[in-house]
Amino acid sequence: RKAIGVLKLLKRGERKVRVEMESTLKEINGGSVLDLDDKSGVGGGVEDVYGEDRASENQPITPWTVTVASGYSLLRDPHHNKGLAFTEKERDAHYLTGLLPPVVLSQELQEKKLMQNLRQYTVPLQRYMAMMDLQERNEKLFYKLLIDHVEELLPYVYTPTVGEACQKYGSIFSRPQGLYISLKEKGRVLEVLKNWPEKSIQVIVVTDGERILGLGDQGCQGMGIPVGKLSLYTALGGVRPSACLPITIDVGTNNKKLLEDEFYIGLRQNRATGQEYAELLEEFMSAVKQNYGEKILIQFEDFANHNAFDLLAKYRTTHLVFNDDIQGTASVVLAGIVAALRELGGTLADHTFLFLGAGEAGTGIAELIALEISKKTSIPVEDTRKKIWLVDSKGLIVSSRKESLQHFKKPWAHEHEPVKELLDAVKVIKPTVLIGTSGVGKTFTKEVVEAMASINEKPLILSLSNPTSQSECTAEEAYTWTEGRAIFASGSPFDPFEYNGKVYVPGQANNAYIFPGLGLGLIMSGTVRVHDDMLLEASEALAAQVSEENYAKGLIYPPFTNIRKISANIAARVAAKAYELGLASRLPRPKDLVKFAESCMYTPVYNSYR
Catalytic residues: 158, 229
Is residue 539 classed exposed, middle or buried when 0-12, 13-18 and 19+ CB atoms within 10 A define those classes?
buried
Helix (H, G, I), strand (E, B) or coil at 453: helix
Is residue 127 classed exposed, middle or buried when 0-12, 13-18 and 19+ CB atoms within 10 A define those classes?
buried
Q: Which residues on neighbouring strands pair with residue 556, listed in sequence order? A: none
What values do phi and psi take at 365, rounded to 5? -65, -45
What is the distance, to the nearest Å, from the Cα of residue 171 to the centroid of all Cα atoms in its chain? 25
* CB contact at 8 A, 178 and 226: yes
Task: Give first-to-last CA distance, the chain, whole Å.
Answer: 12
- The C-alpha atoms of residue 560 and residue 511 are separated, in whole angstroms, by 12
Is residue 370 classed exposed, middle or buried when 0-12, 13-18 and 19+ CB atoms within 10 A define those classes?
buried
Helix H segments across 514-609? 515-524, 532-543, 548-552, 563-581, 593-600
- The C-alpha atoms of residue 235 and residue 97 are separated, in whole angstroms, by 32
* CB contact at 8 A, 399 and 415: yes
Helix (H, G, I), strand (E, B) or coil at 414: strand
The CA–CA distances, whole Å, from 229 to 128, 235, 332, 390, 608 equal 14, 10, 15, 29, 29
In the chain, % helix, strand, coil (3-state, to 5) comes to: 50, 10, 35
- The C-alpha atoms of residue 214 and residue 439 are separated, in whole angstroms, by 5
- The C-alpha atoms of residue 240 and residue 234 are separated, in whole angstroms, by 6
Bridge pairing between strands 297-300 and 203-207: parallel
- The C-alpha atoms of residue 481 and residue 453 are separated, in whole angstroms, by 8
